[in-house]
Amino acid sequence: MSVRVVARVRPLLKAEAEKDQILSIHEGSNGKAQIVKIPNPKIQSEEYSFNFAAAYNASCSQQELFDAEVAPTIKHLFQGFDVTLFAYGVTGSGKTHTMRGGKSLGDRGMIPRMLSNIYRKSKALEKASNGETTIDVTMSYYEIYTDRVFDLLEPLEKRTPTGLPIREAEGGKTVVAGLSEVACSNLKDFEVLYDKANANRSVGSTKLNAESSRSHAILCVKVTISTASETRASTISAIDLAGSEDNRRTGNVKERLVESASINKSLFVLAQCVEAISKKQNRIPYRESKMTRILSLGQNNGLTVMILNLPPTKAFHLDTLSSLNFANRTKKIEVREIENEPIFKGPPRPPTAATTNGGMARQPLRPLNNAANVNILANREAKADKEKPAKLFSVYADKSKSTTTTRAIPQKSSPLKRSAADALASSRPAKQSRPTPSNSSFLRKGPPETTTITKATLESLVEKKVAEILAAREANDAPPSAVPQQTDTEREQAISAEVQARLDSIEKRLEGQEGERAEGLSYLFMAKQHQARGEDGHALKMYELAQPFFPGNGKLERKIEKLRAKILSSRRREKQTTLEDDDAEQSRGTGQDDSDGPRTKGRSRGQRMDVDESYQADQNEASYHDGQEQEIGYSDDELPRPRKKTSRKALNRPKSRIAPRTDSPDPLVDRDGQEADQSMPGPTPRTQHLIDILNSRSVSKLKALNGLGVKKAEAILQHLQEDDDMQLANWHDVLSLDVRGIGKRSWEVMREGVLV
């Protein structure tokens, strides 16, 4: 089934006026509120309509929303399905209000209501079973802040600069390694824990939201139902995404801008994933952001509900249109409704795909066209052509053809499963049973008569196994069902170790490719951000850094050329203006009228920045804002500052002398009070020395830097070691290093202390 997308319009805030409202909710053909209408920003008389599973207007209470959208999913959670519930929308649209809500009873959001419902259901079930069934509830809660994962249940001091790693686990699920999981047996305990954890969440104030979430917060509640014969666990994940931000309006600077870049990047990747899935593209860029890896939209099994939060006023017109477009694509994503397999107590069951592959669980790289029917299709194909098994995936190098056959075996009846009557009564389509794996492992398929394993055999075994694992992942199926003869255990173990080593290396290689592309994309993203702020020099640098990751990309080459030409002509104009200023200066010296001198300079720079052609040229590229980029021109505080009006005193100084700066600790570097720019000559000796130390990655040299304690030195080192090949070239590169707790001032202090 597809992702259920529902829209919720928030009420007007105090500072918002009724006359500025632009959204309206309308009934669909079934008589239910489903349609959101919004005027065309260019032609007000025209309206766009977006149809969703449901649409809620500003008067919708938390209780109404919960009853309609969340309560039904909890029923499925208890039937063994995983559930993902997430709030999406621009900053200030009401995501946190929807998910967490306020403190009063009526204001409580979906999360506390969800827990309250889970505990109530658990108690009722336990009671009805006369103690035969026990239900445990555990939770984990973490945030993704600047693309790093932090445990919200741990105190802030325990955080490491790089955060927790994420891994792919059994069943293709993405998990956070080392995350704490806390048992929580009643609502009261939960509320204490949840409030405490929320105090750890990164929140900050922007012009658009006084309490803006600076991270994506993910709460996972695991419900484990145990009877005498089996145990089944399923998880509901409630995700409060950070909102996309238009930094022309947030007033963000410094740290907020870094956060914002990371938020926007992850949402941009999410939009790219959704676009790729909806266009049925081969490659879905999940891995390019931690948030998309964790959310795994379209890859996760179970039920997914997205609440699209919408601010009602025209101040958010383009953002809202962009969110509506995004949601419109999201609703087309198919997710597999597969219930989690119970763990049977008693005699051991045959191993599953996940247990036979040494824990290696790679996510499938291509979404299914119609995931719900995948097993049926696979069976049909397998029947029609026994030689040609169903291939349900596509990876970089699937040379060998898998001999996997898929077989859907009816599940054992279980007291934990819903009855057929339940399934019929459900508003959702009947579940798809997870096929039970056969009792064979592929290792046993090797020719029994061969005792020595050649390299070629090993290669082919590895390839076959990779193909099988991926097929199993994709179709949620098990390895081959043919039962080969027993082979020698020692030989199996030997192969197993070697095979596993090869698998690991293949996995690493694939990860490497993804990682590189991600790095390239992040340069592109930063380039766009610089360009949007009119910082063409930095933008060019970032595009150039991105270029090696996209060899032969004509569009990128043209963009770089265009930007170079623009900067060149800009410099020429500047030079021209300087000459004119010099003339004016000379005139002043000779008593001529000087009134236009410095002002002309300031104006000409301002005009240049307002019209950023290359930024306009970007509009056709996939963007999380869809069309928001149509608007150009940025608030003055985001534009590079126009040159300070030069004082008469300074003008009279001999030209060769560099005026001492009052606003920078290092007069050698930031010669005109601005951040080092591309137009500047190479780094100064001090900057170069600092760069050399950083490039050396020597911990002792780093520790010796001015103002740097052991912890910070290690944080820098860790950051640098993430990309061992990266060599910093200039001051801008140093400032671009995203090391927690180290801002521009810290770098300047380090530079000041360098002895040359």
Total residues binding ligand ATP (CB under 6 A): 18
Per-residue binder mask for ligand ATP (CB under 6 A), 61-90, x = binder:
----------------------------x-
The answer to whether 89 is a known ligand-binding residue is: yes
The answer to whether 93 is a known ligand-binding residue is: yes
Per-residue binder mask for ligand ATP (CB under 6 A), 208-247, x = binder:
-x-xxx----------------------------xx----
The answer to whether 427 is a known ligand-binding residue is: no
Instruction: Work out whether 743 is an interface residue with ligand ATP (CB under 6 A).
Output: no
Q: Quick one: which segment of 91-99, 374-382, 404-412, 667-675 binds ligand ATP (CB under 6 A)? A: 91-99
- Our CA angle for 141, 143, 144, nearest 5°, is 145
The answer to whether 172 is a known ligand-binding residue is: no
Contacting residue, 309, 313, 375, 402, with ligand ATP by CB under 6 A: 309
Contacts for 482 with CB less than 8 Å, ≥ 6 apart:
403, 405, 438, 440, 445
Shortest separation between residue 364's beta carbon and ligand ATP, angstroms: 31
Shortest separation between residue 210's beta carbon and ligand ATP, angstroms: 7
Looking at the Cβ atoms of 13 and 343, the one nearer to ligand ATP is: 13
Contacts for 191 with CB less than 8 Å, ≥ 6 apart:
112
Shortest separation between residue 104's beta carbon and ligand ATP, angstroms: 11
Contacting residue, 41, 92, 172, 364, with ligand ATP by CB under 6 A: 92
Q: Is residue 265 within 8 Å of residue 145, measured between CB atoms?
A: no
Shortest separation between residue 418's beta carbon and ligand ATP, angstroms: 33
Shortest separation between residue 214's beta carbon and ligand ATP, angstroms: 8
- Our CA angle for 62, 64, 68, nearest 5°, is 120
HSE-CB of 419 using CA atoms within 13 angstroms: 3
Q: Which residue has the tokens 């204490």?
A: 192
The answer to whether 92 is a known ligand-binding residue is: yes
- Our CA angle for 397, 403, 407, nearest 5°, is 120
Instruction: Work out whether 250 is an interface residue with ligand ATP (CB under 6 A).
Output: no
d(CA 322, CA 317): 9
Q: Is residue 258 within 8 Å of residue 146, measured between CB atoms?
A: yes
Q: Which helix (H) or strand (E) holds 160?
A: none
Looking at the Cβ atoms of 72 and 204, the one nearer to ligand ATP is: 204
Contacts for 311 with CB less than 8 Å, ≥ 6 apart:
9, 10, 89, 90, 92, 93, 94, 319, 320
Instruction: Work out whether 101 is an interface residue with ligand ATP (CB under 6 A).
Output: no
Q: Quick one: which segment of 8-16, 436-444, 510-518, 553-561 binds ligand ATP (CB under 6 A)? A: 8-16
Instruction: Work out whether 13 is an interface residue with ligand ATP (CB under 6 A).
Output: yes
Q: Which residue has the tokens 């107590």?
A: 345
Chain-centroid distance of CA 120 in Å reads 34
Instruction: Work out whether 613 is an interface residue with ligand ATP (CB under 6 A).
Output: no
Instruction: Work out whether 10 is an interface residue with ligand ATP (CB under 6 A).
Output: yes
Q: Quick one: which segment of 93-101, 170-178, 403-411, 449-457 binds ligand ATP (CB under 6 A)? A: 93-101
Looking at the Cβ atoms of 5 and 609, the one nearer to ligand ATP is: 5
Instruction: Work out whether 577 is an interface residue with ligand ATP (CB under 6 A).
Output: no
Instruction: Work out whether 95 is an interface residue with ligand ATP (CB under 6 A).
Output: yes
Instruction: Work out whether 153 is an interface residue with ligand ATP (CB under 6 A).
Output: no
| Total residues belonging to the chain | 756
In angstroms, how far is the first alpha carbon of the chain from the final one? 65
d(CA 288, CA 516): 9
Instruction: Work out whether 105 is an interface residue with ligand ATP (CB under 6 A).
Output: no
Q: Output the six-digit token pair for 401.
A: 């053809």
Q: Output the six-digit token pair for 362.
A: 């790679």
Instruction: Work out whether 323 is an interface residue with ligand ATP (CB under 6 A).
Output: no
Q: Is residue 230 within 8 Å of residue 243, measured between CB atoms?
A: no
Q: Is residue 246 within 8 Å of residue 533, measured between CB atoms?
A: no
The answer to whether 298 is a known ligand-binding residue is: no
Radius of gyration of the chain measured on its C-alpha atoms:
30
Instruction: Work out whether 198 is an interface residue with ligand ATP (CB under 6 A).
Output: no
Q: Which residues bind ligand ATP (CB under 6 A)?
A: 10-11, 13, 89, 91-97, 209, 211-213, 242-243, 309
Residues annotated in the binding site, as ranges? 89-96
Task: Tell me the binding residues for ATP.
Answer: 89-96
